[in-house]
Amino acid sequence: MNYTVTNSNAFPMVEITLAFGEEVQIESGCMVYHKGGVTLEGKMNSNQGGLGGFVKALGRSMVSGESFFITKAKSQADGSKIAIAPSVPGMIRELEIGEKQWRIRDQAFLACDSGVSYEMKRQSFGKAFFGGTGGFFIMETRGSGCMLVNSYGDLREVQMDGSRSIVVDNTHVVAWSTSLNYEIKVASGTFGYGQEYADFMDLSRIGGIFVKGTTIRERQGNDYPRMAETPSGMLNAVGLQNKGVDYFISNIYPEIKDIDTNIIVNVSGSTIEDYVECSQRLADLDKVPAIELNISCPNVKEGGMAFGTSACSASEVTKAVREVWKKTLIVKLSPNVTDITEIAKAVEGEGADAVSLINTLLGMAIDINKRRPVLSTVTGGLSGPCVKPVALRMVWQTYNAVKIPVIGMGGISLLSLSL
């Protein structure tokens, strides 16, 4: 494909020069102009004719956001031209198709050679439901030639050699090689113990489940009210309500241990001894390959200051648990700090295998009619779409500060984008 891209502003345009008889396929509705003898033919977005092709094209349109029709442009003379433009401002990038094949997210396709096509590939329910990369189906390229894709905003290519993982917000992925291994996990507190969703989905299709916070002893949680709605989010002060690690081992674990996924237990405590004892109790569970230390809990021996707000206390609790926990150790970081990279480097230095972030942001709500705080605890943890920019910033900072994997979370609400 012989083309030029105008990148003089945020609204680029592609002008393709065609030889006699040459064909290209373009996204329906993206044509700006053509000259010199170009014929356009709208066809169903499928490589198959008849009823089967109709069903495939309809399926693409309904489940992936792609157009029901695709336009075929054919040159009737040497040097004819057709110009196309994406529907959103941003960047246009070429993908070479052949030895390497690609998966592309919904609405990223712009144009391709006649030798290139793409097929619907079914994602696992977990990736579709939580991933935001194109619903239950994503587009996978076939054939050889050139494909043009577009993004909303700038594009950056990241080369992966297998030595280190990278966390990318799902809505910002445009395309990835079919050889890339990627997983979507559900964060602690958002999915209970997993079994609550067994009637709605196949849990084995999720890359991993971070089960809700578990403590050494049963906790009743804080007094009501302990939840409050806020613009683009919510405040919670549940207080780690759970029935304790022994109840988890005897009642919950037998119900979830045979799920074909990674069961990761979130461990919380009020003292370092609590963390250590709880981790020791879990160490003998074969189907728990990792724990996640919630170091946002207040340290009762240090005046209630959260373990995760001090590099010193974060190091101490990580070191103590590392001595008794020989499997994968993930430390969940608090965003309520001046420099999250200091905490990340501190826990990395004491043996953490990975860090997860962010936990909730400290917030407050006032009932103006009663003239007092909404929550019984006055303050609570803020979560929801409103925290996403903060989460992204902290994940980026941490990724550039440590060598261990970084698990990103916070503000991801993609149901409407996935279905």
Mean pLDDT lowest among 25-34, 71-80, 116-125, 285-294:
116-125
Instruction: Report d(CA 118, CA 207) in Å as an integer.
Output: 26
- 173 and 202 assigned to the same domain: no
Q: Looking at the structure, do residues 57 and 25 belong to the same domain, yes or no?
A: yes
Structure tokens at 379: 């303050």
Instruction: Let me know if 386 is a catalytic residue.
Output: no
Domain final residue, candidates 177, 202, 231 = 177
pLDDT band at residue 67 under the 50/70/90 scheme: very low
* Better pLDDT: 303 or 397: 397
User: Do 85 and 28 lie in a common domain?
Assistant: yes
* More confident of the two residues 186 and 410: 410
Find, among 190, 238, 198, 195, the residue nearest to 415 by Cα.
190
Boundary residue ending a domain (177, 202, 233): 177
Mean pLDDT check: name the lowest of 184-193, 210-219, 220-229, 250-259.
184-193
Indicate the range of 8-22, 112-126, 340-354 predicted with least confidence.
112-126
Residue 70 has pLDDT above 80, yes or no: no
Same domain, yes or no: 238 and 116: no
Kindly state whether residue 81 falls inside one of the protein's structural domains: yes
Per residue, the 3-state secondary structure of 390-417, as one string, reads HHHHHHHHHHCCCCCCEEECCCCCCHHH
Regarding whether 218 and 129 lie in a shared domain, the answer is no
- pLDDT for position 55: 38
Cβ atoms of 233 and 387 closer than 8 Å? yes
Residue in this structure with the two tokens 């200051």, named with its chain if needed: 305
The reply to whether 122 and 268 lie within a common domain is no
Whether 391 contacts 335, CB under 8 Å = yes
Q: Is residue 294, in this structure, part of any structural domain at all?
A: yes
Instruction: Identify the band that residue 301 occupies on the pLDDT scale cut at 50, 70 and 90.
Output: low
Percent of the residues in the chain that have a pLDDT greater than 70, as a whole number: 76
Cα–Cα dist 335/357, whole Å: 8
Rounded Cα distance, 130 and 419, in Å: 10
> What is the tens place of the pLDDT at every residue in 235-273?
988 888 888 999 999 988 998 888 888 889 999 998 999
pLDDT band at 62 (very low <50, low <70, confident <90, very high): very low
> What band does 130 get if pLDDT is binned at 50, 70 and 90?
very low
The three-class DSSP label of residue 258 is coil
**197 close to 203: Cβ distance less than 8 angstroms:** yes
Task: Kindly report the CATH number assigned to the domain that includes residue 171.
Answer: 3.60.160.10
Residue in 278, 297, 312, 386 annotated catalytic: 297
Q: Do 402 and 292 reside in the same domain of the chain? A: yes
Q: Return the CATH number at 346.
A: 3.20.20.70
In the chain, what percentage of residues exceed pLDDT 90? 40
pLDDT (0 to 100) of residue 106: 66
Q: Residue 209, exposed/middle/buried by CB under 10 A (0-12, 13-18, 19+)?
A: buried
Given a contact cutoff of 8 angstroms between Cβ atoms, the answer to whether 287 and 263 are in contact is: yes
Here the tokens at position 130 are: 């939580």
The answer on pLDDT for 339 being more than 90 is: yes
More confident residue, 414 or 325: 325
User: For residue 162, what are the domain limits?
Assistant: 2-177
Distance (Å) of CA 91 to CA 14, 30, 151, 378: 11, 15, 6, 46
- When pLDDT is averaged across residues 211-228 and rounded to a whole number, the result is 89
Asked if the structure places residue 68 within a domain, the reply is yes
pLDDT tier at 155 (50, 70, 90 boundaries)?
confident
Pair (391, 314) in one structural domain: yes
Do 140 and 253 lie in a common domain?
no
Q: What integer is the mean pLDDT of 273-282?
A: 95
Looking at residue 183, its pLDDT comes to 56
Is the predicted pLDDT of residue 412 greater than 90, yes or no? no
Q: What is the CA radius of gyration of the chain?
A: 26
Instruction: Give the residue with greater pLDDT, 196 vs 393.
Output: 393
Strand bridging mode 361-364 / 379-383 = antiparallel
In the numeric block, the tokens 């119900």 are attached to 255
Strand pairing class (38-44; 31-35): unpaired
Q: Is the pTM of this model over 0.75?
A: no
Residue 418 belongs to some domain of the structure: no
If one counts the domains in the chain, the total is: 2
In this structure, the answer to whether residues 109 and 189 fall within a common structural domain is no
E strand segments, 63-174: 69-75, 80-84, 90-97, 102-104, 109-113, 116-122, 137-143, 145-152
277/254 same-domain check? yes
Residues 376-390: pLDDT tens digits?
999 999 998 899 889
Contact 157, 94 (CB under 8 A): no
Confidence tier at 49 by pLDDT (50, 70, 90): very low
| Residue-level pLDDT at 104 | 84
- Reported as a pLDDT band with limits 50, 70 and 90, residue 120 is low
Mean pLDDT of the chain: 81
Residues 65, 68: Cα–Cα separation, whole Å: 9
Residue length, the chain? 419
Confirm whether 99 is domain-assigned.
yes
Beta-sheet pairing, 31-35 with 379-383: unpaired
- Residue 190 pLDDT: 52
Average pLDDT rounded to a whole number, residues 165-193: 65
Q: Is the pLDDT of residue 419 over 50?
A: no
For residue 36, pLDDT beyond 50: yes
In a domain, 383, yes or no: yes
User: Which of 141, 157, 177 is where one domain is finished?
Assistant: 177
Nearest 10 degrees: Cα torsion 208, 212, 217, 221 = 180
Q: What's residue 414's pLDDT?
A: 59
Q: 37 with 172, same domain?
A: yes
User: Nearest 10 degrees: CA dihedral of 12, 13, 14, 15?
Assistant: -140
- Does a structural domain hold residue 22? yes
Question: Is residue 419 situated within a structural domain?
Answer: no
